[in-house]
Chains A and B, each alone.
Chain A
Amino acid sequence: MSRTVVGIDLGTTNSLIAVLRNDRIEVIPDGEGRSLLPSVVALAQSGVQVGYPARARLNDPETVVVYSAKRLMGRGYEDVTGELPHLSYPVEEIRGLPMIPDRFRNRHLSPPEIGALVLSELRKRAELYLNEPVLDAVVTVPAYFNDAQRQATKDAGEMAGLNVLRIVNEPTAAALAYGFGSGKDGLFAVYDLGGGTFDFSLLDIRKGIFEVRATSGDTHLGGDDFDAAIVSSWLSELRAGTGFHDRPEVRDLLRKEAEKAKIALSGKDSVTVSIPALGFTTTLTRKTLNDLVEPLVQRTLEPVRKALDDAGVETRDIDGVIMVGGATRLPRIKEAVQDYFGKTLYDTVDPDLVVAEGAAVQGHILSGQRKDLLLLDVTPLSLGIETMGGVMSTLIPRNTTIPTQAKEMFTTFLDGQTRVDIHVLQGERELSRDNRSLARFSLTGIDPMTAGAARIEVTFMIDANGILDVRALDQRTGKSQGVVVHPSYGLDREDVRALVKDSYVHAKEDFETRLLIDARTEAQTVLNATRRALDRLDDDIVPKEERLLIQNQMDRLEEAMKGTDGRLVRDETTRLDKATQPLAERLMNHSVQEALGGKQVDG
């Protein structure tokens, strides 16, 4: 029997897991039939939750809710300071890295650890569905994730007990999902506008070979920006001096309504929005929305031009445009893309699922069951080293097909020097400091000799995942030379190994046992949270019948926990989640009102 290799779309907003079995791509649902898993982790006294229940606690003052952690993945603290105002949870700098304090357990979680929690939730979902252990996976990333971000994604997989066989670019995966490659050949553009990121790629598809010709994009452009544009127009409509503007709860509420309105406008011309809590009513038309988002729409075309330029092609050379990401449902986007290219738009596969589906196809290829398709990716950023005067010298230009390598000869400057330091950078700018620092390598243990006599050949190898490996060879002795790596961002290999070792998500015991343990832990978390909520809330908020209903379900769950059927425990937990769903929603509104009433809420 061949191994099952699942495909995972680890998204900024939502994540999904899919598998290709019996010639069919299946996006694996959770116990309630939902395909998406919100990429959200909630840290509370009572435990850690992932997905919908975590997202439902977004406004619970006693919970730290971590979202958009993908934005922090593989990046330095300095790099993400611009992100922090958009995040409502604390992020602290530890050894130059952004870390999320978990005050309930007196620890800090790295972004890959947050990713690992989301991944292991998906993994559990798949194990239940497939009824077998899931070990191997393909995980997608935005096309222009740099080396450190790809490595961090791989680390997250490893910490979730997954063997990440391949990191695939999201747009490439989308093309795979469309079934290109077996039949239709040509040059295709992939336009992927998600919640917070924009990716554009040009794919040359010929006889089953997918060749990425160029990729470009913008890490800060997506549907969330459309929502923000709507919110700021509403805020200017709201009376000044109410203090509303500074309240995160208000912004949050407006943002949710803005997103709802935006989505509704994909189907009709006008929506009326009414938020009683704020005494706010307004009408949003498609025309107004189009005007609000127009600058953003135009901004997506900049990377498009850049990629076309890089590949040396023009719009008339392109055979079609594949639309990916929830935000491409916006009619104005489709129109703008159609106008720009004047070509067929491919938008029939659900833009939310398409990336995970493609990852499943790639998983199938890696499992050795399919030889007619091959993905050839390119490196999204130029790789180089720092030379004298802080200038970057490019070794591998961007959009080079990977795997690829570059060799460079190094020597010593001083007599008796035994060590040479190399600073590796990624980016397109002239000066080192304007580019991303990837890592510092030290060639160590060089035999002392006169300056310039040493000849050390260093090979910079970028693998098929876009991850850098450095090897050094002493040309005089033919022996491999010691290389010590200090990644600039992201975790040391030692850190990762340590985390994997004590990570509770990584357990090599029997699959059923793990399932049961996980299910029990999750159940206990939900039980504790529910019990605490019920104790705290009086009958105006939780009417007697509802309280009874919840209580009954809690009893059923506790009964199941006494047994050894992990699946039953999970199902009962899901039922409890469902039973408390209306309450959670009411609580959220309640906390908004409380905030407006002037009570200080410490978040």
Chain B
Amino acid sequence: MAHSFARVDPSLCWNCRESLSESDLCTSCVKIQPIGHETDFFSILGLPVRLTIDLSELTERFHAKSRLFHPDYHRLEDGKEQDISLNNAALVNQAFKTLRDPFERALYYLDLTGPHHSPQGQKTALPPDLLMEIMELKESLEEQAESEGAAGAFQRLSGKIREAEAAVLEKMAELDGIPEGTDRALLLSFRASLGRGLEYRKYLKSIERDLKTRTTPARGQTV
């Protein structure tokens, strides 16, 4: 089993050594080509690196790449090709999963285009007053769930989450709209604002999760 695809020259086909006119498939020997380790999720699906994506276009791209790479279509080929197919299909699936969800996509985008690109992601800190507000919201929701039942608390929280998500989506569109060559400080402040919005939403979602586990009796394990 080949474990890495460190190729001498990624512009040549791994099989016939012809130069590649497209990155996925060699036009002369019709072999699929390995996706490089450094390729980002947007490029894997052939999309520009942007925060807003048309979901139906994304799905179409995903399907097209799956039809090219999925192991089911390479099952009767030799080991090397099966290996490429497996790796590529795994990357395509990961890319689609990340980009499909706008909030995961935004996190990934910030990380990818950020100044200190790191696989661990960046830590965004919320200002103390906002953290305070979140704590208070949590307590009041728990009280509400206790006194008048969970339904009302969930409803109030869902409203908050919807607001937060709408704000994040708006910021994503804004950031995409900033023209090239805009002042760097301004760009960074937009990015920071988006990062905070995402972090805020994450807190609300974790309150929702906590509330759910507290109010629903443990269901039987169905495994």
Contact = CB atoms under 8 A, between A and B. Distances in A.
Interface of A: 3, 144, 165-166, 206-207, 209, 216-219, 302-303, 306, 362, 365-368, 371, 374-376, 381, 400-405, 427-429, 436, 461, 463-464, 471, 473, 478, 480
Nearest to B59: A206
Given A166-B75, A217-B222, A371-B73, A402 B93 contact: yes
Given A165-B75, A478-B4, 4 more contacts: A3-B76, A375-B72, A461-B86, A478-B6
Contact of A166 (B6, B66, B72, B221): B72
A64 B146 CA distance: 58
B21 to A, nearest CB: 22
Contacts of B93: 376, 400-404
B107 interface: no
B66 A209 contact: yes
Q: Lowest 4 CB-CB distances: which A-B pairs, in order? A: A403-B90, A401-B93, A405-B90, A464-B71
Contacts of A375: 72
15 contacts: A3-B76, A166-B75, A306-B219, A366-B76, A367-B76, A374-B63, A374-B73, A402-B93, A403-B71, A404-B94, A429-B221, A461-B86, A464-B70, A471-B1, A478-B6
A480 B222 CA distance: 38
B97 A400 contact: yes
A461 B88 CA distance: 12
Contact of B72 (A216, A217, A464): A464
A602 to B, nearest CB: 37
A333 B106 CA distance: 44
Given A218-B222, A381-B223, A471-B3, A463 B86 contact: yes
A39 B22 CA distance: 50
Nearest to B3: A480
Contact of B71 (A207, A368, A371, A463): A463
Interface in B53-87: 59, 63, 66-67, 70-73, 75-76, 86-87
A405 to B, nearest CB: 4
Contact of A374 (B70, B96, B222): B70
B220 interface: yes
Query: Which of A217, A374, A461 is the most central at the interface, judged by chain B CB atoms within 10 Å of its CB?
Result: A374
Interface string B188-221: 0000000000000000000000000000000111
Given A207-B63, A374-B67, A473-B3, A461 B223 contact: no
Most chain B CB inside 10 Å of its own CB: which residue of A3, A219, A463:
A463
Contacts of B75: 165-166, 366
Interface string B120-138: 0000000000000000000
Nearest to B212: A309
Interface of B: 1, 3-4, 6, 59, 63, 66-67, 70-73, 75-76, 86-87, 89-91, 93-94, 96-97, 219-223
A374 B223 contact: no
Contacts of A471: 1, 3
Contacts of A381: 223
A471 B87 CA distance: 12
B158 to A, nearest CB: 13
Nearest to A401: B93
Contacts of A367: 76
Contact of B219 (A302, A405, A464): A302
Contacts of A405: 87, 90-91, 94
Contacts of A144: 223
Contacts of B97: 400-401, 404
Contacts of B4: 473, 478, 480
A402 to B, nearest CB: 7
Nearest to A398: B223
A464 B67 CA distance: 14
A306 B223 CA distance: 12
A296 to B, nearest CB: 13
A427 B223 contact: yes
Contacts of B1: 471
B73 to A, nearest CB: 7
Most buried by A among B59, B86, B87: B86
B218 to A, nearest CB: 11
A329 B14 CA distance: 54
Nearest to A405: B90
A438 to B, nearest CB: 13
B66 A376 contact: yes
A165 B71 CA distance: 10
B63 A206 contact: yes
A195 to B, nearest CB: 18
A401 B89 CA distance: 10
A400 B94 CA distance: 9
Contacts of B91: 405
A303 B66 CA distance: 29
B107 to A, nearest CB: 16
A360 to B, nearest CB: 15
